[in-house]
């Protein structure tokens, strides 16, 4: 199925739903071809290849909404499913905020989302990559004796949306990933780590050597780790951990959480929340990035939204429903089922991670966090962690089995340096950053 056929199917779905009695309809067709290989040592432990086709629809009738998802794309199957959905809408409460958007994307920018070489690539080359990653992690350090698997994965997708307001559009995208999880023995302690790279285009992935080397460094960096002393320290969040902090910040600026009071940022638009080094942006129009698309899950044009401007909260992120509910306008962040990120990122700084470390008198570089302890309404942050202790601007020794605690407000306000090591290998991307002081519970 190509883009034109996917759009045709979406339009036909809209017609069938209207015939069944719907007032407004939105149909989404997704076609994905996936390939995944996992290697362990010299053996292929998993090999998967599939093509999936799904149809989703949102149906509005009498101020009520019903949704459906199906992989039965036959005419009879679609008619039956849509007819049932219209009938089921009768049992849903009327919601005055439900309905299609008022405005839709009217442009088709070239966002470089598709890499033809992924579709054309032979399976043997993909398999060889996973096996080579396994070989390389062991070659990097003899203490690496096993792995949780080395992976190559790619997907080529078509997304098409049509609705009863006259909008119809589609785009094709690709994604490829390389990752590995080495296991090493530190005496009687088994150390594990993970590292990967992802991009729209294969040529933009980090090399196999680079992925293996970084993964090997991460698993051996914690050899001999001990608990740090309890106290208040400067904390540097390495870029992958920093991105996980940013994911929680996104949850706080999602209008779905703001609307129900489940966000520590309620009623704080225009307030200085972070330091002047905190500029956070959501942008769906960045060329070639994993969170980019010409329109969101409702057909609304994506855009660049400045969420924090030098520490000041400027905007929440909205889909059509919550924009209506909160008296705002959609920011093009609908997933079709809620609110999601486009490319949500903290703007990079000008210093290297090494310079951030050199400028830290006494602190911790956090390489990994464990567990989940976030209370979104109050913004409380608490995580188990592993990393490296810093003294006098140098790495002193590895540390683990400690807890970092604070609030997201304290984290954003305390950021005093941002590194330049950002990589857009996820829709949520952050460079490493340093927080002046946080509480560490250790020994």
Per-residue confidence (pLDDT) for residue 189, from 0 to 100? 86
**Is 258 inside a domain boundary?**
no
Q: Please check whether residues 216 and 227 belong to one and the same domain.
A: no
In sequence order, the β-bridge partners of residue 306 are 281
pTM of the model: 0.94
Say yes or no: 205 and 303 in one domain: no
- Average of per-residue pLDDT across 329-357: 96
Contact 92, 58 (CB under 8 A): no
For residue 296, the enclosing domain spans 266-346
Does any domain span residue 261? no
- Rounded CA gap, 223 and 216, in Å? 12
Overall number of domains in the chain: 3
Report whether pLDDT(372) > 80: no
Tell me: do 237 and 216 sit in the same domain. Answer: no
Both 207 and 325 in one domain: the answer is no
- 212 and 233 share a domain? no
CATH number for position 201? 3.30.2290.10
Residue 66 forms part of a structural domain: yes
CA 277 vs CA 83, 133, 314, 412, 426: distances in Å: 53, 37, 15, 9, 22
Tell whether 179 and 162 lie within a shared domain.
yes
pLDDT, tens digit, for every residue of 133-178? 999 999 988 889 899 999 999 999 999 999 999 999 999 999 999 9
Supply the pLDDT for residue 316: 98
Evaluate whether residue 255 is within a structural domain: no
pLDDT tens-digit readout, 389-438: 999 999 999 999 999 999 999 999 999 999 999 999 999 999 999 999 99
Look at residues 296, 317, 346 and tell me which one is the last residue of a structural domain: 346
CA distance linking residue 208 with residue 176, whole number of Å: 13
State the Cα–Cα distance between residues 333 and 303, nearest whole angstrom. 9
Quick check: 251 and 376 in contact, CB under 8 A? yes
Q: How confident is the model at residue 375 (pLDDT cuts 50, 70, 90)?
A: confident
Cα atoms in the Cβ-side hemisphere of radius 13 Å centred on 400: 14
Q: What is the pLDDT of residues 75-103, one digit of tens each?
A: 888 899 999 999 988 889 999 999 999 99
Is 56 within a domain?
A: yes
Residues listed for the chain: 443
Per residue, the 3-state secondary structure of the chain, as one string, reads CCHHHHHHHHHHHHHHHHHCCCCEEEEEEEEEEEEEEEEECCEEEEEEEEEEEEEEEEEEECCEEEEEEECCCCHHHHHHHHHHHHHHHCCCCCCCCCCCCCCCCCCCCCCCCCCHHHHHCCHHHHHHHHHHHHHHHHHHCCCEEEEEEEEEEEEEEEEEEEECCCCEEEEEEEEEEEEEEEEEEECCEEEECCEEEEECCHHHCCCHHHHHHHHHHHHHHCCCCECCCCEEEEEEECHHHHHHHHHHHHHHHEHHHHHCCCCCCCCCCCCECCCCCCCEEEECCCCCCCCCCCECCCCCECCEEEEEECCEECCCECCHHHHHHHCCCCCCCECCCCECCCEEEECCCCECHHHHHHCCCEEEEEEEEECCCEECCCCEEEEEEEEEEEECCEEEEEEEEEEEEEEHHHHHHHEEEEECCCCCCCCEECCCEEEEEEEEECC
Looking at the fold, whether 278 and 191 belong to one and the same domain comes out as no
Shared domain check, 129 and 272: no
Q: Please state, in angstroms and rounded to a whole number, the distance separating the CA atoms of residues 114 and 33.
A: 13
Residue 440, pLDDT score = 93
Residues 6+ apart with CB under 8 A from 440: 228, 229, 230, 231, 232, 233, 235, 364, 402, 403, 404
Q: 320, 346, 372: which is the final residue of a domain?
A: 346
- Say if 251 falls within a structural domain: no
- 253 lies in some domain: no
Judge whether 271 lies within some domain: yes
Whether residues 27 and 155 fall in one domain: yes
Within this chain, do residues 276 and 418 fall inside the same structural domain, yes or no? no
Beta bridge partners of 33: 51, 156
Beta 428-429 vs 343-346: how paired, if at all? parallel
74: CB partners within 8 A, 6+ apart: none
Least trusted range by pLDDT, from 18-22, 151-155, 344-348? 18-22
User: How far apart are alpha carbons 133 and 183 in whole angstroms?
Assistant: 13
Q: Assess whether 308 and 184 both reside in one domain.
A: no
The answer, yes or no, to whether residue 374 has pLDDT greater than 80, is no
Tell which of 346, 369, 400 closes a domain. 346
Q: What is the pLDDT of residues 208-267, one digit of tens each?
A: 999 999 999 999 999 999 999 999 999 999 999 999 999 999 999 999 999 999 999 999
Q: Tell whether 408 and 336 lie within a shared domain.
A: no
CA atoms of 212 and 276, how far apart (whole Å): 36
Q: Determine phi and psi for 113, rounding to 5 degrees.
A: -90, -10
């Amino acid at each position: 199925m190509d883009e034109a056929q996917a759009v045709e199917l979406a339009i036909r779905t809209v017609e069938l739903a209207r015939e069944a009695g719907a007032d407004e309809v939105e149909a989404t067709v997704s076609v994905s071809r996936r390939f995944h290989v996992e290697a362990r040592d010299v053996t292929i432990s998993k090999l998967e290849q599939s093509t999936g086709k799904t149809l989703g629809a949102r149906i509005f009738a009498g101020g009520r909404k019903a949704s459906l998802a199906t992989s039965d794309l036959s005419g009879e199957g679609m008619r039956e499913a849509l007819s049932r959905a219209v009938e089921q809408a009768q049992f849903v409460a009327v919601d005055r905020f439900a309905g299609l958007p008022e405005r839709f994307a009217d442009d088709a920018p070239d966002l470089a989302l598709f890499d033809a070489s992924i579709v054309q690539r032979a399976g043997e080359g993909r398999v060889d990559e996973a096996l080579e990653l396994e070989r390389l992690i062991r070659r990097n350090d003899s203490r690496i004796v096993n792995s949780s698997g080395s992976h190559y994965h790619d997907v080529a997708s078509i997304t098409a949306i049509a609705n009863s307001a006259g909008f119809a559009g589609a785009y094709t995208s690709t994604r490829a990933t390389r990752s590995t999880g080495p296991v090493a023995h530190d005496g009687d302690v088994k150390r594990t780590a993970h590292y990967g790279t992802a991009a729209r285009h294969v040529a933009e992935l980090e090399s196999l050597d680079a992925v293996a080397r970084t993964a090997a460094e991460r698993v051996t960096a914690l050899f001999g780790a001990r608990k740090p002393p309890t106290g208040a320290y400067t904390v540097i969040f390495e870029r992958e951990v920093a991105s996980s902090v940013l994911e929680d910040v996104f949850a706080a600026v999602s209008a779905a959480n703001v609307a129900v009071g489940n966000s520590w940022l309620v009623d704080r638009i225009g307030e200085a929340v972070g330091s002047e080094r905190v500029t956070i942006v959501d942008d769906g129009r960045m060329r070639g990035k994993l969170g980019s698309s010409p329109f969101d899950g409702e057909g609304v044009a994506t855009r660049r939204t400045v969420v924090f401007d030098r520490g000041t909260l400027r905007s929440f992120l909205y889909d059509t429903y919550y924009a209506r509910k909160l008296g705002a306008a959609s920011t093009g962040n609908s997933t079709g089922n809620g609110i999601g990120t486009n490319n949500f990122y903290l703007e990079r700084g000008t210093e290297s991670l090494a310079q951030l470390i050199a400028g830290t008198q006494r602190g911790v570089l956090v390489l990994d966090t464990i567990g989940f302890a976030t209370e979104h309404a109050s913004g409380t942050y608490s995580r188990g962690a592993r990393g490296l202790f810093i003294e006098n601007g140098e790495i002193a020794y590895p540390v683990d089995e400690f807890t970092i605690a604070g609030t997201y407000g304290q984290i954003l306000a305390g950021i005093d340096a941002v590194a330049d090591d950002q990589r857009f290998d996820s829709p949520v991307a952050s460079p490493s950053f340093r927080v002046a002081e946080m509480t560490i519970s250790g020994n």
